[in-house]
Amino acid sequence: MPTPPPGAERLDVFMARANARYYATHPLLNDFITAPEISQVFGELLGAWAATVWVSMGSPAQVVLAEAGPGRGTLMSDMLRLITARVPAFAQALEVHLVETSPLMRQAQAAALAPFAARFPNTSPVWHTTLDTLPDGPLILVANEFLDALPIRQFLHTPEGWQEHYVQNGTFCLVPCPAPSLPDGRTLDPDCVVELCEPALDVARLLGQRFARTPGAALFLDYGHHSSQTGDSLQALRHARPAKPLDAAGEADLTAHVDFTAFAAAARHTGAAVWGAVTQGPFLRALGLMERTEHLAAHAGPQDAADLRSGAHRLAAPEKMGHLFRVMALTSPSLPMPPGFMKGPAE
């Protein structure tokens, strides 16, 4: 194998290091806003989704309710508000587990969930740094904008053959390499850029193996594509504005579009049933986004009602987040189609 230039590191190594620093030092995440911060209805709908899946599992007496990349804790807080109020049996059965590496973010999550832990001690969160330490048993996992922050590798097909992006002194350099291998077996065209997110594929394989032997379901909501699409999607946000991805490592949020095609193939090969990916707008509408929004708006003041309707539009409209964001579920093969998916398991 060719030797990289002195001081150069693979793009995924650079991205992992930069994002670890960013999330450890930017606890309020002011550079972007996620769906749970836009409307409380988003989390309530996912809470109802989780409750419905729990019933489809046979309402087990103990179940792990986990979130990967829980941000400020807003999503889990909204889910628990719905669950504790509407499905008390589920509230008694669940244990909350959060996959989070940042100590500062864990503090924010603990504060957000403290009101529930006071009434339901089993909702006091247990934290993990990786998914593979979640306890055994039935599992319901949600992950909103989690996969997009996982580090990627980039491969370029050039007249000289395949080369991989490395980072050296804040700029890209190319190192010759073998052709990349994607789990869905797609044909890679000449003169293309291919992104490979190995940590995401590891997540898919881990959950596929788990769901093949133990009842479980996982819901992923993220921006990405579900096709044979290739291309450079690496991007950065700094001070809420687009930035150059290689500038000021650790001061910007680095993300890339999720390759749901590869993610689905990795999960399916290890035993999971795959549902979607579907676009976020129809998914949330199927769960009752507009009905719940109007119910809340009818009992709110004029400004709050306007904010609720504006939030629902932002989440579901095709020109907003409704088309860019996609939703995929992985489940045990024995479980029925989860809510929000209109078709059978992805082929």
Q: Which of 142, 132, 123 is nearest to 66 (CA)?
A: 142
Q: Which pair of tokens denotes residue 246?
A: 């290689």
DSSP assignment of 59-85? --SSEEEEEES-TTSHHHHHHHHHHHH
pLDDT at 153 over 50: yes
Q: Write out pLDDT tens, residues 266-306.
A: 999 999 999 999 999 999 999 999 999 999 999 999 999 99
Q: Please, which pLDDT band fits residue 345 given cuts at 50, 70 and 90?
A: low
Listed in order, strand segments (DSSP E) in the chain are 9-10, 63-68, 94-99, 126-128, 139-144, 153-158, 161-168, 171-176, 193-196, 216-225, 235-238, 241-243, 253-255, 258-259, 273-279, 325-331
First to last CA, the chain: 36
More confident residue, 200 or 28: 200
Which residues contact residue 344 at a Cβ distance below 8 angstroms, ignoring those fewer than 6 apart?
337
Torsion sign (Cα): 202, 206, 212, 218: negative
Q: How far apart are CA 73 and CA 65, in angstroms?
A: 13
What's the confidence (pLDDT) of residue 165? Answer: 97
Strand partners, 277: none
Q: How far apart are CA 167 and CA 179, in angstroms?
A: 19
Q: Say if residues 312 and 289 touch (Cβ distance below 8 Å).
A: yes
Q: Which of 331, 330, 343, 221 is nearest to 280 (CA)?
A: 221
Q: How far apart are CA 261 and CA 197, in angstroms?
A: 12
Strand partners, 142: 67, 219
Q: Please, which pLDDT band fits residue 228 given cuts at 50, 70 and 90?
A: low
Cis amide linkage into residue 277, ω under 30° from 0: yes
Strands 216-225 and 325-331: antiparallel
Q: Please, which pLDDT band fits residue 31 given cuts at 50, 70 and 90?
A: low
Q: Which of 131, 277, 127 is nearest to 203 (CA)?
A: 131
Q: How far apart are CA 54 and CA 79, in angstroms?
A: 14
With residues binned 3-state (H G I as helix, E B as strand, rest as coil), the percentages for the chain, rounded to 5, are 40, 25, 35
Q: Which pair of tokens denotes residue 105?
A: 């973010």
What's the confidence (pLDDT) of residue 347? Answer: 42
Q: How far apart are CA 333 and CA 345, in angstroms?
A: 9
pLDDT at 346 over 60: no
Q: Please, which pLDDT band fits residue 28 given cuts at 50, 70 and 90?
A: low
pLDDT at 60 over 80: yes
More confident residue, 154 or 32: 154
Q: Say if residues 47 and 81 touch (Cβ distance below 8 Å).
A: yes
Total residues belonging to the chain: 347
pLDDT at 1 over 80: no
Q: Where are the alpha helices (DSSP H) in 59-149?
A: 74-86, 88-93, 103-119
Q: Which of 40, 20, 13 is nearest to 311 (CA)?
A: 40
